[in-house]
């Protein structure tokens, strides 16, 4: 009876656990998806829908908030032990995205005037304690975005202007060392949207492009910037 009571207590604990997987014999991918949805809903107070798995061991999945289906939030997990799973996510990177873009845009507009800035989360898992209360100051301790900066206008001073921008950017100490900077036509700039980034790159529909990876130690710094011509430049 003593052992029966012990196992009954374990069984009840499993049923009541916040982030456990349901099932009888085998844990399926569907179980992981549903458990991840519950984890995200309880942590952030909104509905999520699981998409699909990826990673070498299928230990990561994309999951989207119901009200922003275009966002592919990454959730990682450990394999179940005694039916318990530990999750991590990068949703805070999406929640802070617009605020970060505005801050970078302030810096860029001082140099270039009219610009568009897009920050794309790169999939790194964030500290488990990060939630809706996490601030921009907290964010700046982690490298969680790839930065896209779209420009238009006079390209004759591109070397001078990029150095001015990067100096201001490094002074602000943003932890976004990876960036793509493109010169577009004025019309392209006005019509550009984040969902069109891949097409612009694949079709090389830009005048100039540079890929920059800032050095992070001991402080942010950069090497000489090298530009590549795009199809718009070659056609003119």
| Domain boundaries along the sequence of the chain | 2-89, 94-234
State which CATH number among 3.40.1440, 1.20.1740, 3.40.50, 3.10.310 fits the domain covering 94-234.
3.10.310
Distance, CA of 77 to CA of 62 (rounded, Å): 12
Does residue 7 contact residue 82 with C-beta atoms inside 8 Å?
A: no
Position 27 scores a pLDDT of 73
Per residue in 2-38, pLDDT (tens digit) is 555 444 444 444 444 444 454 445 778 888 889 999 9
List the one residue out of 196, 189, 184 whose CA is nearest residue 231. Answer: 184
The predicted-structure confidence for 190-231, as pLDDT tens digits, reads as follows 999 999 999 999 999 999 999 998 887 767 778 889 999 998
Query: Do the beta carbons of residue 123 and residue 90 sit within 8 Å?
Result: yes
Name the nearest CA neighbour of 34 among 21, 46, 47, 25.
21
Query: What is the pLDDT at residue 104?
Result: 94
- For 70-118, what is each residue's pLDDT tens digit? 999 999 987 655 457 789 999 999 999 999 999 999 999 999 999 999 9
Q: Where are the beta strands (DSSP E) in the chain?
A: 48-54, 60-65, 73-77, 87-89, 115-121, 145-151, 178-183, 208-213, 228-229
Name the residue among 92, 75, 68, 82 with its Cα closest to residue 35: 75
pLDDT given for residue 91 in this prediction: 96
Angle value at C-alpha 142, between 140 and 143, nearest 5 degrees? 105
Residue 138, class by beta-carbon neighbours within 10 Å (0-12 exposed, 13-18 middle, 19+ buried)? middle
- Of 143 and 229, the structure prediction assigns the larger pLDDT to 229
Peptide bond into 218 cis (omega under 30): yes
The pLDDT of residue 235: 62
d(CA 150, CA 182): 5
- What pLDDT is attached to residue 36? 92
Q: How far is it, in rounded angstroms, from Cα 73 to Cα 15?
A: 27
- What six digits make up the tokens of 138? 């907290």
Report the phi/psi class of residue 160: left, alpha or beta, with left for phi > 0 and alpha for psi in -120 to 50: alpha
* Range in 9-18, 35-44, 59-68, 129-138 the model is least confident about: 9-18
Contacts of 113 (CB under 8 A, 6+ apart): 153
Rounded to an integer, the average pLDDT of 43-55 is 91
Q: At what angle do helices 158-172 and 97-112 cross, to 10 degrees?
A: 140
Instruction: Kindly state the percentage of the chain with pLDDT values over 70.
Output: 84
Does residue 156 surpass a pLDDT of 70? yes
Q: CB neighbours (10 Å) of residue 109?
A: 13
- Please indicate whether residue 33 or residue 1 has the higher confidence score (pLDDT): 33
| Model pLDDT, residue 75 | 94
Please tell me the predicted confidence (pLDDT) of residue 166. Answer: 93
């Amino acid at each position: 009876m003593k052992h029966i009571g012990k196992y009954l207590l374990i069984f009840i604990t499993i049923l009541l656990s916040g982030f456990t997987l349901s099932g009888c014999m085998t844990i399926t991918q569907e179980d992981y998806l549903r458990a991840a949805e519950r984890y995200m809903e309880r942590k952030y107070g909104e509905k999520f829908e699981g998409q699909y798995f990826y990673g070498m061991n299928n230990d990561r999945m994309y999951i989207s908030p119901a009200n922003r289906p275009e966002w592919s939030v990454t959730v990682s997990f450990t394999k179940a032990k005694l039916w318990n799973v530990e999750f991590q996510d990068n949703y805070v990177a999406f929640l802070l995205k617009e605020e970060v873009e505005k801050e970078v845009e302030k810096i860029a507009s001082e140099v270039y005037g009219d610009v568009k800035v897009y920050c794309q989360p790169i999939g790194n898992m964030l500290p488990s304690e990060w939630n809706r209360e996490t601030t921009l100051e907290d964010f700046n301790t982690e490298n969680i975005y790839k930065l896209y900066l779209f420009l238009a206008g006079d390209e004759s001073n591109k070397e001078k202007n990029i150095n001015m921008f990067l100096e201001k950017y490094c002074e602000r100490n943003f932890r976004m060392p990876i960036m793509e900077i493109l010169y577009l036509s004025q019309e392209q700039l006005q019509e550009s949207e984040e969902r069109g980034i891949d097409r612009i790159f694949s079709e090389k529909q830009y005048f100039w492009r540079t890929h920059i990876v800032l050095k992070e130690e001991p402080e942010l710094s950069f090497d000489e910037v090298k530009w590549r011509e795009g199809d718009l430049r070659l056609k003119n």
